Amino acid sequence: MSGRVLIIEDDEWVATLLGKYLRDRGYEVDQRGDARGGFERALSFVPDCIVCDVTLPDIDGLWVARKVRMEGGRIAGTPFLFLTNADDLESHLQALNVGADAYLTKPFRHQEVVAQIAALIGMAERLRGAPDSLGPASSLTAPALRGDTAEMSIATILSILEMERRSGRLKMRRAGQSATLEIADGRLARATLDERPCEPLAAVRTVLAWRDGRFWFRPAAIEGASDSAPALGMLMLEASRLDDEARDA
């Protein structure tokens, strides 16, 4: 089996065709047609990837993404692929802001969706498994994990690091900008932006907006970390709230 995929899509024709295409390629698939039902099924089904339409009949897909990222445990780091309308730029931006890893515009080719799902599942598996696969010496010389933020969003990376209670340094770089987050047991001990000390919330809010670039994570003991340091999930939620307020102002 290639993995478990949850499709949250109210267009029955689109959901049925996509589900059949994924099953033919070895995926276990479940489908829901509304936001609330999709979120509840995500908790019980525990998919390896969620494919979700932004526009749903009861709430919207953005609500589903927020709820998933707020959950504890493995589900919080589940890769999230949004389906959006081609002319809905605002939905594209909002989808990325709430922690989506990628989006595809309608109409889409089924091969394109399958390729994106495979890439997201593969990246999530590497993020979860890489630290445990390294020997003691290699952790000193090479990143435990690395990747492209165009393939895996910063929100998902942080969710996984919090869920696994990892400790180490997450470095991110894009054109003309850099950031380092020192993480202790899934909490943000210290942060720098462009090599200058930065308040944790401001740092998280900044990097969540980065849509391109590279990241590296090296496990390490973080000295001087306080038990009162904010959890990564809490910082992401507060950053999302502030961004929502800024857009509404």
Cα 73 to chain centroid distance, Å, stands at: 14
Q: How far apart are CA 77 and CA 75, in angstroms?
A: 5
Mean pLDDT of 125-136: 51
Q: Which of 38-42, 147-151, 194-198, 220-224 has the lowest average pLDDT? A: 147-151
Task: List the one residue out of 35, 76, 74, 120 whose CA is nearest residue 237.
Answer: 76
Q: Domain 3-126: give its CATH code.
A: 3.40.50.2300
Structural domain spans, the chain: 3-126, 134-248
CB-based contact 193:155 (threshold 8 Å) = no
Q: 104 and 51 in contact (C-beta within 8 Å)?
A: no
With 0-12 CB in 10 A as exposed, 13-18 as middle and 19+ as buried, what is 161? Answer: buried
Residue that is written with structure tokens 């609330």 in the block: 36
Residue 249 has pLDDT above 80, yes or no: no
pTM: 0.62
Question: Is the Cβ–Cβ distance between 172 and 213 less than 8 Å?
Answer: yes
**Cβ 57 vs Cβ 40: under 8 Å:** no
Rounded CA separation 144/146 (Å): 7
Top mean pLDDT of 24-28, 143-147, 223-227 is at 24-28
In this predicted structure, the answer to whether residue 182 has a pLDDT above a threshold of 70 is yes
Residue 152 pLDDT grade (very low, low, confident, very high; cuts 50, 70, 90): confident
